[in-house]
């Protein structure tokens, strides 16, 4: 099946390229994602007319990706994980945890953009490669630190909360009767 790429697709072609792909790949991925359109004569003429504009759009997109890569390289992500005394994690830190941490920082990175050689299974500092797109990669510093034990700080508060919790139902009862 012959398609015209609306956006660059890795390992397939650049924007405006005419490519031949299998129908399943076209109908299930490329066309629904807005990455390609069926190559009609009309689309081919439009691409020829707008080649200069498309190269400008592509140049701006690559500049935006480079900017994103520079911002990611400046970031440091800290992920808390449960570990034993020797620094071995009980579980592991993978692409999912890294993308969640990046989303909290305001970056929209998908799990397939995170390039790990394997799950992170020990505490420490790791350099993780993030494939931003268009052959642009960024190196992100990821700190895997032990999870903070929250039992100790909460114990004194639990005593205060239990006193206030015994007062709370008494204070709440008149409000309930007042609202009826």
- pLDDT of 107-154, one tens digit each? 999 999 999 998 899 999 999 999 998 889 999 999 999 988 644 444
Q: Are residues 79 and 142 in the same domain?
A: yes
Three-state DSSP state, 126:
strand
Q: What percent of the chain has pLDDT over 90?
A: 56
Q: Are residues 44 and 87 in the same domain?
A: no
Question: For 83, what's the count of Cα atoms within 13 Å in the CB-facing half-sphere?
Answer: 20
In the predicted structure, residue 163 carries a pLDDT above the cut 50: no
Q: Which residues of 10-31 are buried (b: 16+ CB within 10 A; e: fewer)?
A: eeebebbeebebeeeebeeebb
Q: Are residues 75 and 135 in the same domain?
A: yes
| Average pLDDT rounded to a whole number, residues 26-35 | 93
Q: Are residues 44 and 80 in the same domain?
A: no
Give the pTM: 0.59
Domain containing 93: what range?
71-146
Does residue 172 lie in a domain region? Answer: no
Residue 61 contacts residue 136 (beta carbons within 8 Å): no
In angstroms, how far is CA 26 from the centroid of its own chain? 25
- The pLDDT, as a whole number, for residue 149 is 64
CATH number, domain containing residue 108:
3.10.430.100
| pLDDT mean across residues, the chain | 82
Q: What end-to-end distance do the CA atoms of the chain give, in Å? A: 69
Q: Are residues 134 and 102 in the same domain?
A: yes
| Average pLDDT rounded to a whole number, residues 25-48 | 88
Instruction: Work out the pLDDT band at 155, boundaries 50, 70, 90.
Output: very low
Q: Are residues 134 and 77 in the same domain?
A: yes
């Amino acid at each position: 099946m012959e398609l015209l790429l609306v956006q660059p697709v890795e390992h397939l072609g650049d924007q405006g390229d005419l490519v031949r792909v299998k129908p399943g790949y076209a109908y299930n991925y490329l066309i629904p994602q807005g990455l390609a359109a069926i190559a009609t004569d009309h689309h081919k003429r439009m691409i020829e007319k707008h080649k200069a504009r498309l190269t400008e759009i592509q140049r701006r997109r690559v500049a935006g990706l480079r900017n994103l890569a520079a911002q990611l390289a400046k970031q440091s992500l800290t992920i808390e994980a449960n570990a034993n005394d020797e620094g071995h994690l009980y579980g592991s830190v993978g692409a999912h945890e890294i993308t969640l941490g990046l989303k909290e920082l305001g970056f929209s990175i998908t799990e397939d953009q995170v390039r790990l050689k394997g799950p992170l299974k020990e505490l420490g500092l790791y350099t993780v490669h993030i494939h931003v797109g268009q052959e642009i990669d960024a190196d992100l510093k990821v700190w895997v630190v032990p999870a903070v034990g929250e039992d100790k700080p909460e114990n004194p508060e639990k005593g205060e909360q239990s006193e206030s919790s015994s007062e709370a139902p008494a204070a709440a009862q008149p409000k309930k009767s007042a609202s009826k």
